[in-house]
Structure 1
Amino acid sequence: METDFDGTIVAHPDTDVVDTILGRVRPLLPHYATMAAEEYGRRFQDYARLSPAAFESVIESSFANLRALVEAIKSEAERPAFNSVSWERIGAIRMRQGISIESLMRSYNVWGRFAWAMFLSQIRRDDRRELETLLYISARLFWHIENATGSMAAGFIREAQSTWSNRELTRNSLVDALITGKLDGGALSAEPYGKDLASSYVAIAMLPRRAGAAQSPSLEDHVRRVYQIATRIRSDHRAFAGVRDSSVFLLWPVDDAVGQKTLGPVARELAERFSTMGVGVGAAHPGLEDVRLSFEEAQEASHIAVALDTGEPLSFNDLRLERLARSSGLIQEMSRDALGPLLEYERRRPSALVDTLRAYIDAGGNISGAAESMFVHANTVIYRLKRIAEITGLDPRESRGLLVLSLSLLAYQIGTDRPGTEG
């Protein structure tokens, strides 16, 4: 039996064997569809930030994909029927949900691996006919992925073109070139925006503080609101807004006194207007080639703003300690050693020790200030600090203990490797 990945089958396998394998697989379709969709959420931020209702549609399309694959495998036609309209519709929906086309395509690779694993789990390796049929199944799987991804990409692009006018598409192309550093003469001279480009920009990035927070309204609606705020503050249309990697961003021109003076106010207004999002501000770099660097810095600052759950815009240049705590493996290790026992104690016996430590640090080591912020007596704070010292071996009332615990708590707040979360 010869197979070709375009879906053409020279010799169809034994129909009874195909039916037998499909009979084993069909009950597993909902389970594998859900597992594949959940893996999207773990791998891709775009999917992780979908609302629960929107994520249900992802599971449904994953299930529909598996059903369509089963029908293609069952078909004896050389080229099975394929309803491209359905997959184009999925592509359009993902675009409206704020999923990037890169995440959409990569998620389909994940789906393909789960589909393949499902069939592998149901093949009897000691049966030569079933192993031969597995080759046939692999050809149909590749055929389905090729057709589905092509159709979804077409639907995604068509929706993008219908959502944005030609003027806005030109603008988006220029913005994409700026934040990726892939500038060329054509982008720089593109009408109507090329002639209005500033010579340098600072990026402001906004990231949802809770999953699904940016979906009502959609990310695209957020972009329009951001641009309206920008043009109200300065009307020369040299600011640019867009969406990338689940972040809504604004590129603010800073090549003149007006831009430099209004950077702070526009960042604060965005933080006020978009209260469910963490706002980060990149550094200023001369030249358009380094807009990409400012954008990456703004993204990192917005991630820290989300981790700290602050409503204030955070500037990249003011976050050296936070960036160090976030990136240093040594500080993360110290955080695990210092806070692990305390977090484990609190898990077994809730006692507000971590909250007391945070209040004490925020109060600059002042017991009365910590007590006031927690609405407890100063003696309660003193007792809890003693318990913290007993449990961790680090006394927050001493300079070294306070330093280690402060850095450890900061690393815990903003780090991905949090101590004491096992089990």
Structure 2
Amino acid sequence: MPTSPPSPPPSAESNAVLTALATRVLTRIDPLTREIVRLIVANEPTYQARGAVPVGLLTQSVDGNVRRILEALAGVRRAPEEELSVARTTGRRRAEQGVPLEAVLRAYRLATELVLGSLLAEVRGRPYDELAAFLDVTSAVMKVMDRHSEAVVDGYRRAEAELLLRDAQRQQATFDALLEGRGSDPQFAAGAVDALGLPATGPYVMVVATFDLAAQHSLGATRDTCAAYSFPAAWRIRGDREIGIVALGEAEAPVQRLLDALRRHPVGRTGVSDPFVALHQIPEAYRAAELATRTVTPGDGPQVVWIAERLPEALIVSSPALAQRLAQRALGPLLAQPPTEREMLLRTLAVWYETGRSAPLAAERLYCHRNTVLNRLRRIEHLTARSLEDHRFLLACYLGLLTLRLGQDKVRPAAPASTT
């Protein structure tokens, strides 16, 4: 479809008429400004709110903007940055005052309509050639007004971005302070819940979710899930971890509800602390959630774990040297066997625990006879010189198996006993 040819530029005579009209309106700018302010306050609820934009400041702003538009139409030449500085300042101030951009633009549109109306009023009753000349430059008038309107938006957006950055920096600083224990200060705690947008009272939990730095889709997935299921939360990213303070609300079994939501879309290793009610408990809860993530091995795949369900594993990963020593002492003789026998005995022992120490059930899982399981258990007792009826040895073996699963490469076979 062919496009219409561009309109020819206004003639010198038309520009001269526009200059004269704008100059005449400039001489009566005070009543025009008052009328614009009156209409803005009457028609925009945001401007009606007490203290949102004081009338004095609004009047000063309207006067500055209208004056710059009329001066541009009257032929006053300024550098673009200088011409649009008042419009950008208006946009910035309204963003800082919390006036919605839509309300700002409606007010600005109302002002430009009244400016255009004032120019039309000046040309009414004038000779026909002046009216024709004004119509010839109408598009030029609208371009000037659009240019100033765009500058308002630009100033608003820049200020908005700065305010968001400032808020984000404040939130991050507040979050970090809570992790460091500042929540024990009642005054700081009261300001923290406000800054982070959290409910003033718990229960809360800490959530730590790892994500793959190379897979951008995983970043924010835990945060999105909490938002989707209406859990108010504040978040902080540290390295490859997303840390959240999540408010549980008053629903029945709130921790289970959160776990169910997170487990529908697991990403990486996610640890959840026990519930707590006061912000001074955040450091301990954070350590618990972080500890919970360490109970999931990389080979386990994405998992969401609650510290209350992983206490034995947490005990092991929180004291790795002691756990390795315990595993070596309990299972060292098994680890010293040839690889095939070692794996067979450790697998049998693990399945025996998993099936409630039932030889028949373990045999089903291992696809062997019940007596085979019993013979392997006796072999373990022979190698360790300990009885699986001994509750201390029974516990040590279980913790030893967990240690192997969580860090098998760090546990070495027991050294042969000295004969001297």
Q: TM-score, normalised by structure 1?
A: 0.49
- Given the two structures, how large is their TM-score scaled by the length of structure 2? 0.50
Q: Higher RCO, 1 or 2 (CA under 8 Å, sep at least 6)?
A: 1
